[in-house]
Chains A and B, each alone.
Chain A
């Protein structure tokens, strides 16, 4: 069973703070990892992906991957109320569909 685990939250952070979202996966064959943001009633939108160990930065977002620990995280710096959403972590083997976690609800308070 390929599983991606996330804490459902809600994770509440004040505006301007760093939000840290975590995810673990069970399938060691997973090669690529993705973070999506989903607003209520809307379709997921891709934030970033990562497939190498270490950090990958894109604007206010940093994805971190540790394959030995089977751990993926997403850091959001300078959190804004508009960042309030559900964040979905997903894993994939090359060429296959993505396997999603249940998502972490993030609430950024003004």
Chain B
């Protein structure tokens, strides 16, 4: 299957700082990537759809000024959590669609953010 790489895997930061998470498609071009967030024992919740060369589309309730998404190339999307607070601590996972016809998503390894 398609390979999606995410970095960093773990990050611990102080409250008020910003954290950037990178998501790369390694063996294919992804015009669209999706960012999910998962709290413990909960399902994956879609945060936003990242579109190469245009603005991201955010889901209802997700603050676009807090969660900055940039999709500057066909292989890279970044999520920046600005002014992070403890309630932002979560597992953030990016994904990309490997085959447009079938629609399955391939996930990055995920980034566990802990805000102290």
Contacts and interface: CB of A to CB of B under 8 A. Distances in A.
A interacts with B:
yes
Interface of A: 31-32, 34, 36, 41-46, 49, 51, 88, 92, 94-95, 97-103
B42 A102 contact: yes
B104 A49 contact: yes
B46 A99 contact: yes
A94 B100 CA distance: 8
B105 A98 contact: yes
B67 interface: no
A94 to B, nearest CB: 6
Contacts of A32: 102-104
Interface residues on B, range: 20 to 34
Contacts of A102: 42-43
Contacts of B106: 46
A51 B6 CA distance: 29
Given A97-B34, A97-B49, A46 B104 contact: yes
Contact of A42 (B95, B103, B110): B110
Pick from B36, B43, B107, B112 the residue with the most CB of A within 10 Å: B43
B109 interface: yes
B1 A46 contact: yes
Interface in B91-108: 93, 95, 100, 102-108
B12 interface: no
Contact of B108 (A43, A46, A100, A101): A43
Nearest to B59: A97
Given A32-B103, A43-B6, A44-B44, 6 more contacts: A32-B104, A34-B104, A42-B109, A49-B104, A88-B43, A95-B100
A32 B26 CA distance: 25
A2 B62 CA distance: 17
Contacts of A43: 6, 93, 107-110
17 contacts: A31-B103, A36-B107, A41-B112, A42-B110, A43-B109, A43-B110, A44-B93, A46-B105, A88-B44, A95-B103, A97-B105, A98-B34, A98-B103, A100-B44, A100-B45, A101-B43, A102-B43
